[in-house]
Structure 1
Amino acid sequence: MDVPELLEAASLLVPERIATENDLTVNDVWEYLAHDEWEVALDLLEELGDVHQLSLGFWETLATAAEQMRLDRSAAWCHWRGYETRHGIIRADLTLRPAAEARRQTPISGAGVLRPMWSIGHRTATGGPALDIARLWAEFTPFLEPGGHATVRLAPLDPSQWQHLRPGQVITMHEDQSVAGTAVVLEIQRPPATVTS
């Protein structure tokens, strides 16, 4: 399928009753598609997907459209949302340690590239912290500077190891044995019992 067909297919998966904060609906998407405003239609579909939990097929279709339009960040976001549809959502308030106190001296990408380790309460046989890996997506910022602060989403390598997390719990981020940042869990959404495509 080409881009307009993919966007039309994704539009058909959005319930007509949902709207963005600005009262835009899937009918507005159809208007943009009629005028070949594909990128605007894609952005609006992403917004609608953030308002209402949509299917894995919706996110996969949008990711393919974004890839065909060479919109790398949008494609990465749609793949990320597909992962969350399958495995659930973990959001946290992260503060990185300042450059003077940490190994990292450069900003980290906010687009799900970094796969740091996290101390989330597990212990090794000897009683030390057992670290678990999760990719990190910083909301509303392309980069997170040392000492910076952002709301982040986490995509665990093994989601079953993260089932015990609760809002308010403090977890620490590691890029080596030292603490690179501290996060407070804000939100946990379990995946639906059955994920449909």
Structure 2
Amino acid sequence: MDVPELLEAASLLVPEKIATENDITVNDVWEYLAHDEWEVALSLLEELGDVHRLPLGLWEALATAAEQMRLEKSAAWCHWRSYETRHGIIRADLTLRPAAEARRRTPISGAGVLRPMWNIGHRTATGEPALDIARLWVELTPLLEPGGRATVRLAPLDPSQWQHLRPGQVITMHEDRSVAATAVVLEVQQPPAISTATPGSSGRP
């Protein structure tokens, strides 16, 4: 499929009744598609996906469309949301240690590139912390400076190891054995049943 076909098919998976805080609905998406405003249509579909759980097929279609338009950040975000649709959502309030107190001296990328280790309560047979890997997405900012604080999303390498997390739980981030950041879990959502609706079908969630 080319970009307009992907976006049109994705739009069919969005219920007409849902709206963003700015009262954007899928009907607005269709208006932009009619005028070949593909990048705007993609952005609006991403926004609609943030206010309502939408099928996996939508995010996969948007990721492909974004890649064809060479919109790297949008493609990365849509792939991230595809992962969350499959495996669930983990959000946390993260505070990086200041540069004077930690190994890291430079900002971290916010776009899901960093794959740090996390102490989420697991132990080795000898009682030492057993660290688990999860990619990190920082909300609303492309970079997080040392000492900075932000809401983040986590994508575990092995989601089954993270199912015990609960809001309010404190976990720590590590880039080596020392603590690089502390995070308080804000939200844990288990994955919904993955919809079989795919772009080009007439199914709706």
* TM-score of the two chains, using structure 2 as the length reference: 0.95
Instruction: Describe the superposition over 1:32-59 as per-residue Cα deviations: whole angstroms up to 9, x where unpaired.
Output: 0111111110000000011100011000
- After the TM superposition, which residues 109-128 of structure 1 pair with which residues of structure 2 at under 5 Å, given as runs? 109-128=109-128
Residue 6 of structure 1 corresponds to 6
Q: Which amino acid aligns with 1:40?
A: V
Name the counterpart of 2:91.
91
* More strand per residue: 1
TM alignment of 1:15-164, pairs within 5 A: 15-164=15-164
| Superposed displacement of residue 196, structure 1 | 3.2
Q: Give the residue type in structure 2 aligned to 1:105.
A: R
Contact conserved, 2:118 with 2:173, CA < 8 A, in 1? yes
Report the Cα distance in structure 1 between the residues aligned to 2:137 and 2:195, rounded to whole angstroms.
22
Q: Tell me the distance in 2 between the aligned counterparts of 1:35 and 1:57.
A: 24
Q: After the TM superposition, which parts of structure 1 deviate over 3 Å for at least 4 consecutive aligned residues?
A: 193-197
Shift of 1:67: 0.3
Q: Which amino acid aligns with 1:191?
A: P
Following the alignment from structure 2 to structure 1, what is the Cα–Cα distance between the partners of residues 69 and 150? 29
Q: Residues 170 and 184 of structure 2 are in contact (CA less than 8 Å); yes or no, is this contact kept in structure 1?
A: yes
C-alpha displacement of 1:2: 1.0
Q: Distance in 2 between matches of 1:157 and 1:2?
A: 32
Structure 2: state its 5+ residue gaps. Answer: 198-205
Work out the CA distance in 2 between the residues paired with 1:67 and 1:196.
23
Q: Percent identity?
A: 88
Q: Supply the distance in 2 between the matched residues of 1:150 and 1:124 (Cα, whole angstroms).
A: 30
Cα distance in 1 for residues equivalent to 2:36 and 2:56: 25
Q: Tell me, yes or no, if the aligned pair for 2:56 and 2:194 is still in contact at 8 Å.
A: no
For the residues of structure 1 that align with 2:122 and 2:106, how far apart are their CA atoms? Answer: 29
User: What residue ranges of structure 1 are gaps of 5+ in the alignment?
Assistant: none
State the distance in 2 between where 1:116 and 1:37 align.
38
Task: Please state how far the C-alpha of 1:192 moved relative to its aligned partner.
Answer: 1.1
* Whole-angstrom CA distance in 2 between matches of 1:84 and 1:28: 26
Query: CA–CA distance in 2 between the matches of 1:104 and 1:15?
Result: 45
8 Å contact kept, 1:85–1:195: no
How many residue pairs align between the two structures?
197
Q: Is 1:165 aligned to 2:171, yes or no?
A: no
Matches of 1:128 and 1:193, distance apart in 2: 36
The two structures, once aligned, show a CA RMSD in angstroms of 0.8
Task: Select the structure with the greater relative contact order (CA < 8 A; seq sep ≥ 6).
Answer: 2
1:121-172 deviations in whole A, cap 9, x for unaligned? 0001111110000000000000111111100000000000000000000000
Structure 1 position 174 matched with structure 2 position 165: no
